[in-house]
Amino acid sequence: MRLLVTGGAGFIGSNFVHHIIARSDHSVTVLDKLTYAGTLASLEGLPESRFRFVRGDIADAPLVDELFAEHDAVVHFAAESHNDNSLDDPRPFLDTNIIGTFTLLEAARRHGTRFHHISTDEVYGDLELDDPARFTETTPYNPSSPYSSTKAGSDLLVRAWVRSFDLPATLSNCSNNYGPYQHVEKFIPRQITNVLRGERPKLYGSGENVRDWIHADDHSAAVLTILEQGRIGETYLIGADGEQSNKAVVELILTELGQPADAYDHVVDRPGHDLRYAIDSTKLRTELDWSPRFHDFEAGLAQTIAWYREHEGWWAPAKDATESRYRAQGQ
Ligand code: NAD
Ligand code: DAU
């Protein structure tokens, strides 16, 4: 297939492009605006015969239409993705996550293009720490932040285009990803790079909040499986049974980097901070026979720490600006 990958210069999109080139015969065109979150440095070393990059906005209808005419399928990662930014300035989240997705859907409708929409478990809201339940494909939507509400809105648009216009689309909602190429504004890279720079990790509030971690390469494999074998119109939850409290993650990072496990600071909490996410990925595992390769979170985290240690040139350019933004918010 000739795949168009939106947001392919970001964290998960670039991991997906590397995965596709290594594990399939598909060719890839990346459409990416290169916002603060995207960089061509994440796409270095890809073969010219199977990879092309186009800089542009997913809300640019003429450009999108031209690209859809040349591709068999679209995997839509592009988004404003950071909750903290959405609390500071929600507008770009509406422009990209809602209007951008709408623009892509209209092009897909015109060209009859196979469409896979990438979304998040945050559309389901949050769970209590002691709740035995996990999110499933039938959990009601209940998003908390401007980010997650725009992702929920984009999911509903995709579902409406399937039902109303027979769009050949699938959706996936994944839990928190970790791995190489993640921007230093996000939790795990922020704490790793703080320690590498001799600064202390910063935990929002009590640090008891729980996230369900999955390696970005496992997310990529799941998306490829859904793209090739998923049932049209269906939603699949993607998760790897990786629940950890934020405090536990910070302690693991400090220990791996040879620091005392309690050498972190508590800082101002995120307003409306979701307490816990947890994914039940039974449908994907039983229907499409997918399972994660990274079973051991501690080992995957150690590999990720090693990557950041070896790639300071990749993350250093964004670090100062990110930290001064956090400092201004007391975080
Ligand atoms: P990211 O912020 O690292 O990357 C987003 C990419 O999209 C960047 O390269 C950026 O330049 C590009 N982009 C932004 N606006 C654009 C526009 N208008 N037109 C074209 N390109 C644009 O995000 P990520 O963490 O890689 O997330 C990718 C997708 O996965 C998002 O849809 C997100 O909601 C979803 N998701 C993320 C996680 C996670 O843990 N990070 C988990 C589940 C789902
Ligand atoms: O669940 C999937 C979602 O995971 C994706 O949809 C989002 O795009 C992605 O950013 C992520 O959202 P979170 O808000 O969970 O990720 P973040 O890395 O911002 O924070 C993870 C947890 O760590 C959260 O509980 C907030 C906390 N945190 C974050 C930062 C940046 C800290 O305690 N300290 C920090 O410095």
Mapping DSSP onto H, E and C, the string for 107-162 reads HHHHHCCEEEEEEEHHHHCCCCCCCCCCECCCCCCCCCCHHHHHHHHHHHHHHHHH
Q: What is the pLDDT of residue 286?
A: 98
Q: Is 257 part of a structural domain of the chain?
A: no
124, 147, 178, 277: the catalytic one is 147
Q: In what order do the strands lie in the sheet with 73-76?
A: 51-55, 27-32, 2-6, 73-76, 114-120, 169-174, 235-238
- What tens digit of pLDDT does each residue of 225-278 get? 999 999 999 999 999 999 999 999 999 999 999 999 999 999 999 999 999 999
The pLDDT, as a whole number, for residue 48 is: 95
Please, are residues 136 and 129 in contact by the beta-carbon 8 Å criterion? Answer: no
In a domain, 239, yes or no: yes
| pLDDT score of 194 | 98
- Spatial neighbors of 309 by CB under 8 A, at least 6 apart, are 196
Q: Which of 237-251 are b and which e, b meaning 16 or more Cβ less than 10 Å from the residue's Cβ?
A: bbbbbbbbbbbebbb
Position 182 scores a pLDDT of: 99
Find out whether the beta carbon of 122 lies less than 6 Å from any atom of ligand 2: yes
223 part of a folded domain: yes
Cβ of 217 closer than 6 Å to ligand 2, yes or no, is no
Closest ligand (CA of 266): 2
Positions in the chain whose pLDDT score sits under 50: none
For residue 321, the model assigns a pLDDT of 96
> Is 148 a pocket residue for ligand 1 (Cβ < 6 Å)?
no
Nearest ligand atom owner, CA of 250: 2
From the CA of 12, which ligand is nearest?
1
- The answer to whether 189 touches 37, Cβ cutoff 8 Å, is no
Active site residue 121: yes
Q: Is the dihedral of CA 59, 32, 175, 182 positive or negative?
A: negative
The per-residue pLDDT for 34 is 98
| Catalytic residue selected from 57, 80, 121, 217 | 121
Note whether residue 316 is domain-resident. Answer: no
What's the pLDDT at 133? Answer: 95
Q: Within a domain: residue 201?
A: no
User: What pLDDT shows up at residue 223?
Assistant: 98
- pLDDT for res 176: 98
**Residue to mutate (ligand 2; options 149, 154, 211, 249; most atoms within 8 A of CB):** 211
Q: Are 246 and 203 in contact (CB under 8 A)?
A: yes
Does the annotation count 236 as an active-site position? no
Q: How many CB atoms lie within 10 A of CB 155?
A: 21
Q: Indicate which CATH number applies to the domain containing 124.
A: 3.40.50.720
- Proportion of the chain above pLDDT 70, given as a percent: 100
Ligand 2 pocket test target in 122, 176, 182, 323 with most atoms within 8 Å of CB = 176
Residue 142 amino acid letter: N
Query: Does 259 fall in a domain?
Result: no
In this structure, the dihedral spanned by the alpha carbons of residues 146, 152, 157 and 160, taken in order and rounded to 10 degrees, is: -150
Which residue, by CA, sits nearest to atom 41 of ligand 1? 177
Confidence (pLDDT) at 225: 98
Q: How many CB atoms are closer than 10 A to CB 233?
A: 15
pTM over 0.95: yes
Residue 267 belongs to some domain of the structure: no
Report the number of distinct structural domains present in the chain. 1
Domain holding 67, by residue range, is 2-183+213-243+275-295
- Does residue 10 belong to any structural domain of this protein? yes
Please tell me the distance between residue 129's alpha carbon and the centre of ligand 2 in angstroms: 16
